[in-house]
Amino acid sequence: MSDASLHQVWSETELDDALDALHADAPSADLSAARATLLRAAGAAPAERVPDAKPRRTWAWVAAAAAVVVLAGGIVTVSNLPGEPAREPSLLELGSTGVVKPDAPLKPGEFRFLYEQRWGSPVYGQRYETTIELWLPDVPGQEWLRRETSTGRTLPYPGPDSATANAKPADGPPEVTEKYAPLDGGPGSFTNPTPAFLASLRQDPTWLYEQIQAWFGKVKPRPETDIDVFTFRTIVDLLTSGRLRADHRMLFARTLSLVPGFVTRTENDRTTYIFERGNERTKVVLQTSTGLPLSQSITTVYDADGYKAGTPLRESYYKTMILERPPIPTTTTTKPG
């Protein structure tokens, strides 16, 4: 296996200003440039030439069917203004046009592999590290392997932004759980996306959004569960499951545009989704060209209960690659039936 087959996990520190940018003071040059842009879009030339502001990151706010971007510290509605500098297309735009990099085909005996390093919610003042490994074949009926390891490494809560840098070593051996299961796995559902279930889905984000909303009523979560949070969480769990192929990753990514109140940002082949509700901010990063997961985090939004805004509640980092075969089982494995 070459290093080229590995998708780099990018640092989260570059993404922390996702919503905080709204509160930043806008330089006068940026305000002038924004004013000039709006005048050009309305068909009126500015009275004098305004020097171009330094390139700013592209932001897209999606709420219901409306899109807005942050310009010069304020919010204005835009839609590809004439003469606007070329920008990097978002995952949503690539998905809507079908311009997406397909998954590399597997050779006989090869598996798609997803590795997740997770720092979970605090327990007794500590956050614990768990690694999850998935070996997924393309052959219908062939078994796949899921290995979950509690490494024993811990972080004090609240922890730092860079989780692995200050982790305490484990006191004992890791706890490993392995499970083999057939890939087909029956009719499936949104929590068990079997090939049969995925094949039954229309390539229509609006239809899919309605199906997830209807499923909310069927599974009957806790009364206090917000339907938008439920929908967002369902889609994110699927996108980070490792079980979706490229066309379905694009479908679910586009469906996110129908969930009210989230932000997207695209830069350097990364599309970031940010969703806030209550005192939790969820941030999910996907590779734009493939829709593969790169990272996910949940942090506090504001100071409360003795914790400062930005305190991490959960962090996950993902790597994907192709491997020739699953490892030899290291523990007692379980098989259904």
Banded pLDDT at 13 (limits 50, 70, 90): very low
Pick 4 or 110 by higher pLDDT: 110
Q: Is 8 a residue whose pLDDT tops 80?
A: no
pTM above 0.75, yes or no: no
Which residues are CB-contacts of 226 (< 8 A; sequence separation ≥ 6)?
277
Annotate 36-66 with b (16+ C-beta within 10 A) or e (fewer): bbbeebeeeeeeeebeebeeeebbbbbeeee
Residue 215 CB burial class (10 angstroms; 0-12, 13-18, ≥19): middle
**Count of residues for the chain?**
337
Which residues are CB-contacts of 270 (< 8 A; sequence separation ≥ 6)?
10, 285, 286, 287, 288, 294
Q: Where are the alpha helices (DSSP H) in the chain?
A: 28-41, 91-97, 195-199, 205-219, 227-239, 246-255
Q: Is 180 a residue whose pLDDT tops 70?
A: yes
Q: Is 124 a residue whose pLDDT tops 80?
A: no
Banded pLDDT at 143 (limits 50, 70, 90): confident
Give the pairing of strands 66-71 and 74-77. Answer: antiparallel
243 in Cβ contact with 48 (< 8 Å): no
Q: Is 93 a residue whose pLDDT tops 50?
A: yes
Least confident of 14-18, 127-131, 239-243: 14-18
294 in Cβ contact with 9 (< 8 Å): yes
Diameter of the chain measured on Cα atoms: 76
Least confident of 28-42, 260-274, 317-331: 28-42
pLDDT in tens, 32-51: 444 444 344 444 444 444 33
